[in-house]
Structure 1
Amino acid sequence: MTQAIYQGFILSRQQYAANKYSRHSGITLCYWLSSDHGPIKVLVPNQQAVFFIPIKQRVLAVQLLLTHNINVEFKDVAIKHFSGEQCIACYFSSTQAFYQAKQLFENQPLENQITVYEGDVRHSDRFLMERFIRGGVWVTGDVTQQTGFIQINNAQLKAADSYTPRFKTLSLDVECSGEGVLFSVGLVGEGIDCVIMVGEPQHSEQTIYWCHDEIDLLNQLQTLLQRVDPDIIIGWNVIEFDFNVLNRRADALGVKLLLGRGNGPLQIREGHFTRLTLPGRCVIDGIDTLKNATYHFDSFSLANVSHKVLGEKKLIQSDNRLSEIVRQFNEDKLSLAAYNRQDCVLVNRIFAKLKLIEFAIVRTQLTGLELERMGGSVAAFTNLYLPLLHRSGYVAPNLGDHGLSFESPGGFVMESIPGLYKNVIVLDFKSLYPSIMQTFCIDPLGLIHGLEEPENAIAGFKDAVFSRTEHHLPNLIKKLASSRQHAKNTGQLMLSQAIKIIMNSLYGVLGSKGCRFYDPRLSSSITLRGHEIMQTTRQWIEELGYTVIYGDTDSTFVSLPDELAPDNCKEIGKQLAKAINEKWQQTIEQRFATQSYLEIEFETLYSPFFMPTIRGKTTGSKKRYVGQIQGKDKKELVFKGMETVRSDWTELAHEFQTELFTTLFQDNFNVEMLTPIIESYITRLYAGEFDDKLVYRKKLGQHLADYQKNIPPQVQAVKKYQVTHPEFVINKGQVVEYVYTHVGAELYANVQQNQADQKFDYAIYVEKQLKPIAQMILLPLKKDFNLSNKAQLQLL
């Protein structure tokens, strides 16, 4: 064995029972790395898992553990709970003893119950967390060369923050029956482009590995994966569906899936979410990654996302995709193979175009979470905060330790003044909630110290006070803000976006009852301070002679005189931002004797701008407006919360609303210009010109059988179709396309096939799609509106 130092990026993490991989006692941690030298397997032996208990409960804990023959080592550590109560560390040399003791302590009768702190932190995570290792790592130890990888025993690890890997990526997609019987598996990536399929060999232009049966398919899949040896496997719903199907089918057939490096087995544990372990590899799901990167789609299906992002469609367009897949497997295997392969290709192209792997990497580098761990804002916060808290001498609290029951309010939303405006500027606070936390030292530890020493604290809300000196979040936010600015200045857009997401999640985590650090005094001190800032900012702007027509969380909408040119409006926006920032700096220095990190900036000029009323009322709406901005080459409409950006409205409504607002925003607009547009749409609708734009698209929020009392139209359409087509299957989460005909809601595909028998109910589309949009525009204008008699009968 030799000694060497390697640099790598963590792909997977596991912890093993004593003596499974070495002669050492204790827990062995196993980390697989991607490196410039190829895969590296890192083993850290002789580890102990730890949780904490109040020191006053030590005697009872000893008695219980002795009675149940559970070995433990108690260590006095300088650590205490937020209540000030001293704690003691309980170290275990096996994970089995760790979980047995935790369960034993927590399941005692109330009078003998022992409080466990941090008992939910896996040691393989804690080991990295306490060393501030976030993806990149230096490792040294006893090095041996194994078949296909380097192994480092007795390893020592240290953070390597600057190391960025180049991963070998493979896209995987499974096709199967409704019962999970395997048909084929597509694999497309570096070094491979093929489909593995059950069936008799047929000639094909694409590479197909033909299999005798499912067992042969699973064995060939293992062989190919080991040969290609990817670092990362990507797919669409790949963990919840594809790997779950493979795992369940392998179990049913008695096949052990050795898909990991070093022939490591696939392991899946299902709970609140499916946790997949594949030694030496990482599995990243496209849907989860898109959501965590804050992409928004009306549907996250591969068909919809590939159409929106790539302009490409899946090869099977049928509403009943499963029945078509089954038909192709039985009658046209080559078409199914092409479909299977193309899904893999689409996933690869989406990941490449949107740089989703790069996003996953920088997210791990910032938070320390596993590459595949999506969601997990609470876990990310814990990863960042817990090591800092320990170094301050505190253990993390459990849920509800604060003992408070009141709710904290949400963000500030101002009453709007509806109407049509020529010039509206938007002033936006940059990262308002993080800057409030930084300015007013809002922090879990800061709250504890602030309550102990209120004379050296900044007042919050709901009796909260925050230490000026003993805290961590303000410094963490300052570091993140600086890193984001550097990323923006150097063109690192993905890093900038990842930092923005993490910064904005900090309030959400502190306001989540699922976070151990949740305390309503913390979240209230953030949101109520936001209310105060927004209301005061409005007052200052109006004192300067301008009218504020709306405000929402961190944005203030200001109406400027109609006669002003765009350049004058923008200059006023910049001057207002400068004046407001100066006022906040002075005010916070005077009131709180601290520095202001609040920064408002001129964000947008809308010209014109339309604020609607609440539907059917005269009062202004909230979170709904339309504005026009000057783009690079042309003017563009921006819709917020309107029908145009909502997936439950038809393409007809989208097109109608866009045309009305395009007309409304013309320089020479008068209200009579809307009359021919509305009449034209009604006439053309009844003439059948919009028949291909009348489709509603709504997702099934639950399984069909669960709809009993309130049955929405999309479910009515499906159930009606199943009466004559019992083979039609659709699952929770899938999108239903339906239309209204003279017999009610019908599946769109069925209407397409039976056009002679079905007629659209155009009156419903006038009532539910055209009328609400027209009235929304007309009411704030307070104008008389005259249509032809026929149009009036249809619309009003």
Structure 2
Amino acid sequence: MSSAALAPAELPGFILTRHWRDLPDGTEIEYWLATDEGPKKVLLTQQTSVAFLPARHRAAAQAPLAGLEVKELGLKTFDQEPVLGVYARRFRDLGKLARALQPLGIPLYEADVRPHDRYLMERFITAGVVVEGGLRKGQGIIDCRLKPASGWRPVMKVVSLDIETSATEELYSIALDGAGDRVVFMLGEVTASASAPAASPMDFRLLYCPTRRDMVEQLNAWFEAHDPDVIIGWNVIQFDLRVLQKAADASSVPLQLGRERRPIAWRTHPGRQGYLFAPMPGRVVVDGIEALRAGMWSFPSFSLEAVSQELLGEGKEIGDAYDKMAEIERRYQANKPALARYNIRDCALVLRIFDQLELLPFVLERAQTTGLQVDHFGGSIAAFSHHYLPRMHRLGYVAPNVGDIAAKAFPGGYVMDSTPGFYDSVLVLDYKSLYPSIIRTFLVDPVGLAEGESTDIQTGLVQGPQGTLFSRDKHCLPDIVTTLSNARDEAKRARNQPLSQALKLLMNSFAGVLGASECRFFNPKLVSAITLRGHEVMKLTRAFVEQRGYQVIYGDTDSIFIWLKRPHSTAEAHAVAASLVQDINAWWARKLREEQQLESFLEIEFDTHYAKFFMPTIRGSDVGSKKRYAGLSIDEEGREEMVYRGLEMARSDWTPLARQFQEGLLSRIFHGEPYRAFVADYARSMLDGRMDALLVYRKRLRHRLDAYQVNVPPQVRAARIADAHNAKLNRPQQYQRGGWIQYVMTQSGPEPLEARHSRIDYEHYLVKQLQPIADAILQPLGDSFVALTSAQKVLF
């Protein structure tokens, strides 16, 4: 330790990665931080781990407890049973203890909370930290103290990575764009054509590598020299890094992309076969597709081509999968600089998408909000535990184990029966974050429920649905939600959209977490106390609105659709909405204060005014549908927007023919324009072959192709035809592991676009695509598809 020095008093940082390891003298925790001084490795040595044992089992567990420290702590389970703290120098010893106690029927609580997570959560640290004290040794800070810090954010050094391969995943090139450099490592030697002046100057370096071993070594050296904090890409873990690891292994050279030239610690997902995680010390890997899904962005396709076309208005320069592989092969063999340009362009597209959607700020704010590592997507259960456990401990409780309460069904969100038909002037009012607001208002909480169930005196408790009782003064979750809600309001005032979105998603996940059987806090009583209270809120709101003389035609979980019973101008409708919002919120505040002495956090807001609105029936019946409607909305500036929810227009499993027809028909009806000729002309054009480009089905194969044995849907039949065709042409088979297939219905059945030989079955599209859509819309108007098309002799 002679080269070590005392660290400065305080250093702000942001946690990039976390790891733990058991050593002979105790558990060591490692955090890599981004700081203003560059990356820092924090090592906390000789850490002990803790779990909790019911005190009444101490004697029975004496033998397995040998060598472990046991303390009385004043903590208890949700069943009010006292527990002892069991401390181990090595974390894995707690797992061994839990397994040894299992045959004895003795539970051990919280033995699965990993050391690096417990250290942070018990100090209320999520991602931002302040480092205090400790010893400096190079990039390392040893045995310091970490405190939470919320406001500081690092300037991340980011690199976009993309590779190109042969059809059989043989590595051809590696492109890197970021961290102050743009470079492509290309397999092969410099040729005369490659060294000739290019048509346009390169804005990147092109380095030729004689072997794949040399490519991997160059890549390792680049990462050490440029030292990025974040690696971004598109399917970067499941494809790019996986192929790079395969190439490194085949070349007998280590792939050392982590800091300190450390390897990727590959892990498989326990619930998703073939899905990989690629943690590496000191660097975060953020996949664009996963980040978009985590932020609830939605695209018909998440391919880089589709997303870049929609967001940037441009995309990749090579067409479909077959053209792409053939063109990549041609460029590799004949024009390597052209392949390098294609490779680096993909890196640039990813960088621009991340920049436009603020994806990196979003994932950083998500980490700060949830307590999860930056590149840990999903994880709502882990985020809940990160916030809840330390607060629960301070109230004297330990967490139950997963499976302590048997899984059983519970009520979901309240969806009203709809009144189908066409309407003028429909208002939509939404409760802002309804379930989190119910948690705050009615004090729904695991500890609060344990307190309520443990007392014989019901006075002063909050009475919930199904006889549940909650403590008014001993709870955690309402306070957590209040903190997050206030932070979101502040983020919205500051126009910090990434933080606002991260906070909203976390709060809205809490009810789902309590209803997830794989969560340690799962309890049907708890989640029912939220959902059934939601039912009550929606029913009482409906009654309030209808007492005002309006009609509620639909409602879904937290939204209510109100028909004003006559056409209203935009100004009139907005005035009605403002009055209803004010009165409903005031009514809730008064009702809850007077009846239960509770402060109301229920807040209904005005969402949309539909000048025209359509609610269809369930196909083949007179019953109104749910979660399916269309409307023509008009805002205060008079801007119109056609809105579709759940209809064929909004669903990817219907053809463009159907979606375009539905949009055209509804638009004409909403605007009071003639529609009968449109229906007939559209059908005639389709039958005449003038709309063939719109007849393509695009569907997803969710399983391996050989998994479909009994029920073989059309998309699977088309995929099998396609891959048989690919095999004949010695092309890679595209669909063996699933994926997206495009096909049309022919007189011989479904056929893929790449291997279509038969005539199109126009009757299929007429009966299965156009007629169902038309009749759902026309029936309330007294018309039908057959009547309109037969009258025009379309079908003859």
Aligned AA (1:642): L
Partner of 1:719: 720
Quick one: distance in 2 between partners of 1:794 and 1:506?
Answer: 55
Report the secondary structure of 1:540's partner residue. Answer: helix
- Kept in 1, the 8 Å contact 2:432–2:603? The answer is yes
Q: Which of 189, 210, 223 is equivalent to 1:200?
A: 189
- Kept in 2, the 8 Å contact 1:299–1:735? The answer is no
Aligned AA (2:627): K
Is 1:396 the counterpart of 2:388? The answer is: no
Report the secondary structure of 1:39's partner residue. Answer: strand
Deviations 1:429-459 (A, max 9, x none): 1111111111111000010011123322111
Aligned AA (1:624): R
Aligned AA (2:480): L
Deviations 1:604-625 (A, max 9, x none): 1101111111112111111111
Is 1:189 the counterpart of 2:178? The answer is: yes
Quick one: distance in 2 between partners of 1:643 and 1:784?
Answer: 18
Quick one: distance in 1 between partners of 2:488 and 2:662?
Answer: 38
Aligned AA (2:399): A
Quick one: distance in 2 between partners of 1:792 and 1:118?
Answer: 73
Quick one: distance in 2 between partners of 1:393 and 1:641?
Answer: 47
Identity of aligned residues (%): 41
Quick one: distance in 2 between partners of 1:504 and 1:212?
Answer: 53
Is 1:85 the counterpart of 2:81? The answer is: yes
Partner of 1:114: 106
Aligned AA (1:237): N
Q: Which of 356, 360, 368 is equivalent to 1:357?
A: 360
- Kept in 1, the 8 Å contact 2:266–2:279? The answer is yes
Quick one: distance in 2 between partners of 1:484 and 1:232?
Answer: 26
Distance 1:507 1:87, change over 3 A: same
Partner of 2:485: 481
Instruction: Tell me the TM-score normalized by structure 1.
Output: 0.92
Quick one: distance in 1 between partners of 2:683 and 2:146?
Answer: 70
Partner of 2:609: 605
Partner of 1:262: 260
Q: CA deviation at 1:502?
A: 1.0
Distance 1:708 1:419, change over 3 A: same
- Kept in 1, the 8 Å contact 2:747–2:758? The answer is yes
Is 1:40 the counterpart of 2:40? The answer is: yes
Quick one: distance in 1 between partners of 2:319 and 2:21?
Answer: 46
Quick one: distance in 2 between partners of 1:788 and 1:649?
Answer: 21
- Kept in 1, the 8 Å contact 2:726–2:733? The answer is no
Q: CA deviation at 1:283?
A: 0.9
Q: Which of 283, 306, 318 is equivalent to 1:316?
A: 318
Report the secondary structure of 2:79's partner residue. Answer: coil
Partner of 1:568: 572
Quick one: distance in 1 between partners of 2:770 and 2:347?
Answer: 40
Report the secondary structure of 1:101's partner residue. Answer: helix
Q: CA deviation at 1:463?
A: 2.8
Q: Which of 644, 653, 661 is equivalent to 2:658?
A: 653
Report the secondary structure of 1:289's partner residue. Answer: helix
Q: CA deviation at 1:509?
A: 0.8
Quick one: distance in 2 between partners of 1:784 and 1:15?
Answer: 68
Is 1:366 the counterpart of 2:369? The answer is: yes
Partner of 1:219: 217
Is 1:94 the counterpart of 2:90? The answer is: yes
Q: CA deviation at 1:768?
A: 2.0
Deviations 1:672-706 (A, max 9, x none): x2211011111221233222222211111111111
Q: How does 1:536-575 map to 2 (within 5 A)?
A: 536-575=540-579
- Kept in 1, the 8 Å contact 2:179–2:227? The answer is no
Partner of 1:228: 226
Question: In the comparison of the two structures, how many residue pairs are matched?
Answer: 769
Report the secondary structure of 1:422's partner residue. Answer: strand
Partner of 1:240: 238
Is 1:64 the counterpart of 2:64? The answer is: yes
Residue range with higher mean Cα deviation, 566-575 or 584-593: 584-593
RMSD: 2.2
Is 1:515 the counterpart of 2:504? The answer is: no
Q: How does 1:317-356 map to 2 (within 5 A)?
A: 317-320=319-322, 323-324=325-326, 325=328, 328-330=331-333, 333-356=336-359
Residue range with higher mean Cα deviation, 250-259 or 450-459: 250-259
- Kept in 1, the 8 Å contact 2:775–2:784? The answer is no
Q: CA deviation at 1:333?
A: 4.0
- Kept in 2, the 8 Å contact 1:80–1:86? The answer is yes
Aligned AA (1:315): E
Distance 1:168 1:521, change over 3 A: same
Distance 1:326 1:85, change over 3 A: farther
Report the secondary structure of 2:59's partner residue. Answer: helix
Q: How does 1:699-718 map to 2 (within 5 A)?
A: 699-718=700-719
Quick one: distance in 2 between partners of 1:144 and 1:460?
Answer: 54
Report the secondary structure of 1:61's partner residue. Answer: coil
Q: How does 1:662-741 map to 2 (within 5 A)?
A: 662-666=667-671, 668-669=672-673, 673-726=674-727, 727-731=731-735, 732-741=737-746
Partner of 2:384: 381
Partner of 1:780: 780
Distance 1:78 1:620, change over 3 A: same
Is 1:634 the counterpart of 2:630? The answer is: no
Quick one: distance in 2 between partners of 1:327 and 1:697?
Answer: 29
- Kept in 2, the 8 Å contact 1:484–1:495? The answer is yes
Deviations 1:325-356 (A, max 9, x none): 55654565444433322222221111111101
Aligned AA (1:11): L
Q: CA deviation at 1:73?
A: 2.0
Is 1:75 the counterpart of 2:78? The answer is: no
Report the secondary structure of 1:240's partner residue. Answer: helix
Quick one: distance in 2 between partners of 1:326 and 1:50?
Answer: 57
Aligned AA (1:6): L
Q: Which of 475, 479, 485 is equivalent to 1:471?
A: 475
Report the secondary structure of 1:577's partner residue. Answer: helix
Report the secondary structure of 1:610's partner residue. Answer: strand
Report the secondary structure of 1:506's partner residue. Answer: helix
Is 1:103 the counterpart of 2:99? The answer is: yes
Distance 1:413 1:93, change over 3 A: same
Q: CA deviation at 1:783?
A: 4.1
- Kept in 2, the 8 Å contact 1:416–1:611? The answer is yes
Is 1:743 the counterpart of 2:743? The answer is: no
Quick one: distance in 1 between partners of 2:513 and 2:113?
Answer: 17
Distance 1:116 1:197, change over 3 A: farther
Is 1:496 the counterpart of 2:471? The answer is: no
- Kept in 2, the 8 Å contact 1:196–1:217? The answer is yes
Partner of 1:172: 161
Quick one: distance in 1 between partners of 2:414 and 2:661?
Answer: 32
Residue range with higher mean Cα deviation, 372-381 or 281-290: 281-290
Quick one: distance in 1 between partners of 2:252 and 2:638?
Answer: 62
- Kept in 1, the 8 Å contact 2:567–2:611? The answer is no
Report the secondary structure of 1:705's partner residue. Answer: helix
Quick one: distance in 2 between partners of 1:253 and 1:60?
Answer: 55
- Kept in 2, the 8 Å contact 1:322–1:729? The answer is no
- Kept in 1, the 8 Å contact 2:230–2:285? The answer is yes
Q: Which of 625, 630, 640 is equivalent to 2:629?
A: 625
Q: CA deviation at 1:236?
A: 1.7
Partner of 2:299: 297
Quick one: distance in 2 between partners of 1:701 and 1:347?
Answer: 26
* Structure 2, gaps ≥5 residues long: none
Distance 1:326 1:460, change over 3 A: farther
Quick one: distance in 2 between partners of 1:244 and 1:95?
Answer: 30
Aligned AA (1:57): H
Report the secondary structure of 2:278's partner residue. Answer: strand
Aligned AA (2:376): R
Q: CA deviation at 1:468?
A: 0.9
Deviations 1:142-165 (A, max 9, x none): 44463xxx3212211111211111
